[in-house]
Amino acid sequence: MLQHSLGHRRRFARAVAATIALTSFSVLTATAQNYEGPQPPIIDVHVHGSMGAQPTAQPMCPNEPGFAASDPATQESANGWVKVACSNPIVPVPPAEYLKQVGADMKRLNVTAVVFGDAASTAKYEEAAPGRIIPGTSFNAPGRDATFLPIEQVEAAFATGKFKVMGEIGLQSRGYSPSDPSLDKYFALAEKLDIPVAIHMGTGGSGRANITMPKFRGSLGDPLLLEDLLARHPKLRVQVMHAGYPMIDNMLTLLQANSHVYVDIAGLVWSYPLVEVNRYIQRLVEAGFEDRVMYGTDLGESGWEGLMAYSISIIQNAEYLTPQQKRDILFNNAVRFYRLDPSKLAK
Ligand SMILES: [Zn+2]
CA distance 255 to 284: 9
- Is it the case that residue 22 has pLDDT exceeding 50? no
Give distance in angstroms: CA of 139 to centre of ligand 1. 14
**Where residue 21 falls among pLDDT bands split at 50, 70, 90?**
very low
Q: Rounded to 10 degrees, what is the CA torsion of 176, 181, 185, 187?
A: 60
CA distance 333 to 240: 14
Stretch 161-167: mean pLDDT: 97
Give distance in angstroms: CA of 304 to centre of ligand 1. 15
Stretch 73-90: mean pLDDT: 93
Q: Residues 108-140: pLDDT tens digits?
A: 999 999 999 999 999 999 999 999 999 999 999
CA distance from start to end of the chain: 69
CA distance 49 to 186: 21
Give distance in angstroms: CA of 298 to centre of ligand 1. 7
Give distance in angstroms: CA of 203 to centre of ligand 1. 7
Give distance in angstroms: CA of 252 to centre of ligand 1. 19
Give distance in angstroms: CA of 4 to centre of ligand 1. 74
Q: Rounded to 10 degrees, what is the CA torsion of 48, 137, 264, 266?
A: 10
List 44's β-bridge partners, or say none.
Answer: 113
- Is it the case that residue 264 has pLDDT exceeding 60? yes
| Choice between 20 and 269, residue whose per-residue pLDDT is larger | 269
CA distance 214 to 236: 30
Give distance in angstroms: CA of 200 to centre of ligand 1. 5
**For residue 14, how many C-alpha atoms fall within 13 Å in the half-sphere facing its CB?**
5
Phi-psi label, residue 266: left if phi above 0, alpha if psi -120 to 50, beta otherwise: beta
Give distance in angstroms: CA of 231 to centre of ligand 1. 23
Give distance in angstroms: CA of 170 to centre of ligand 1. 7
What values do phi and psi take at 36, rounded to 5? -90, -10
CA distance 49 to 99: 10
The answer to whether the CB of 320 falls within 8 A of the CB of 277 is no
Q: pLDDT above 70 covers what percent of the chain?
A: 90
Question: What count of residues does the chain have?
Answer: 347
Give distance in angstroms: CA of 188 to centre of ligand 1. 22
What values do phi and psi take at 172, rounded to 5? -60, -45
Give distance in angstroms: CA of 115 to centre of ligand 1. 13
Give distance in angstroms: CA of 198 to centre of ligand 1. 9
Total-model pTM: 0.89
- State the CATH architecture for 42-344: Alpha-Beta Barrel (3.20)
CA distance 74 to 296: 37
Q: Residues 209-248: pLDDT tens digits?
A: 999 999 999 999 999 999 999 999 999 999 999 999 999 9
Give distance in angstroms: CA of 213 to centre of ligand 1. 14
The whole-number pLDDT of residue 13 equals 46
The whole-number pLDDT of residue 28 equals 56
Give distance in angstroms: CA of 197 to centre of ligand 1. 13
Q: Tell the burial category of 277 from Cβ atoms under 10 Å away from its Cβ (0-12, 13-18, 19+).
A: buried
